[in-house]
Amino acid sequence: MKATVYIGETAPYLYPLDELTIENEYLKLPIGSTHEYQDNDFSKLLQVVSSLGSCSLSNLLGNSSKAFFLGEKLRIRRMAFNIQEGPLTLKAKSIIASKRKGKSSVEIYDQAGVLAYNFELDYTIFSEEAFCKLFKDNFEKTEETAFCDNFPATRNTIQSDSQFIITIDPFTAQNCIGHFEGYPIVPAVFMTNRLLAGIREWAGEQEGKPVNIQVDSLEMFPNRAMPVNTTYKAAIVATRLAPRLTLFTCSVQDENQQEYGVYLITLQY
């Protein structure tokens, strides 16, 4: 689709949008099956949603030059009691608040046509010139060419029955190719993957057996671009909301205690 030409994200971070169609002002996209997005791989669904949200906003703007859409806030809610296994379909629509602010709403339907998840993504919009100026410290003179999909390791440090620290080894520029070209920045959805992995390990230790986690709701509030080659530490507070429902408040910092955002993740397991 033409709009993808004017998006700052590129492949492989940008999800392939070859099957994208327009239906009643919505962008519509079929994606993989439900089982591909289980446990910490739920972050892959966030990545697809982010790609479609950016494309939807770019399509609405009608850009003739490249724009960069940086996620300012992302909210997800599970809508269905039971999500049928099989292909999923995304429908996205965007609104523009100003030259610098936009929002995309993305609905995910299962094979039976039941609304499975609802997403809202708030964006800050940058021109290419403004983006390059603002993120000049993230510039890499030599763009990595070999994409690496092996995410860094995590380690948990238990502080109490409801508090622990997840240490996340550095992401590399190879992990972040396409986000953004020449300016590798760790996507918040990649951080979410590592948080979910650490939380799943903690939950398994609490239960005394391996567990499968299911996202009930998730809110991401990134407040600073996360550079590569940086060790991150996430302080986690677990609050039991119901017998099978736990809220995890995750505050992400680097080793110098620089803040990078807060993630509120409610899980069933």
**Average pLDDT of every residue of the chain:** 94
Under the banding of pLDDT at 50, 70 and 90, the label for residue 43 is very high
What pLDDT, in 10s, does the model give residues 191-215? 999 999 999 999 999 999 999 999 9
Is 147-268 in the same CATH topology as 2-132? Answer: yes
Question: What is the reported pTM?
Answer: 0.95
CATH number, domain 147-268, options 3.30.390.10, 3.40.50.1100, 3.10.129.10, 3.30.1330.10: 3.10.129.10
Under the banding of pLDDT at 50, 70 and 90, the label for residue 25 is confident
pLDDT given at position 2: 56
Fold of 2-132: Thiol Ester Dehydrase; Chain A (3.10.129)
The string of DSSP codes covering the chain is -GGGGGBS--TTTSPP-TT-EEETTEEEEEEEEGGGG-GGGHHHHHHHHHHHHHHHHHHHHT-SS-EEEEEEEEEEEE--SSPPSSEEEEEEEEEE-SSSEEEEEEEEE-TTS-EEEEEEEEEEEEEHHHHHHHTGGG--SS---S----PPPEEEEE-SSSEEEEEEPPP-GGGGTTSSTTS-EE-HHHHHHHHHHHHHHHHHHHHTS----EEEEEEEEE-S-EESS--EEEEEEEEEEETTEEEEEEEEEETT--EEEEEEEEEE-
